[in-house]
Amino acid sequence: MSTPTIIREPKLAICTRFTPREQQVIDLICSGYSNKQIAHQLSTSVDNVKATSSHVYWKLGLNHSWGCPRVRLVLWATKARLSDAA
């Protein structure tokens, strides 16, 4: 009988210093908006939204090797009660 494999999640960095724009992007991601919808809502480009969300992921220590960082951001924001939308 084999021992079950325990999958541990990475430790997330605790960073409470988000720019106002990063906080807006976090809120909209948690509300289920796509990058294109966020760009339209914030009157900016999709590339700008991608860059901002990448900064948020980096600050939290999220990366693609641990699954979708967008989903993990929503989970983290919900747990940290960081977003009004979460």
**What are the pLDDT digits (tens) for 46-58?**
999 999 999 998 8
- Establish if 64 belongs to a structural domain: yes
For tokens 């106002």, what's the residue? 20
Query: What kind and span of H or E run contains 85?
Result: none
38: domain CATH number?
1.10.10.10
Largest CA distance in the chain: 57
- Establish if 13 belongs to a structural domain: no
Tell which residue, 3, 45, 49, has the closest CA to residue 26: 49
- Indicate whether 37 pLDDT > 90: yes
pLDDT of residue 79: 79
pLDDT band (50, 70, 90) for residue 59: confident
**Mean per-residue pLDDT, 63-83:** 75
Total domains, the chain: 1
**Mean per-residue pLDDT, 77-82:** 74
Tell me if the pTM is above 0.75.
no
Q: Which domain holds residue 58?
A: 20-80
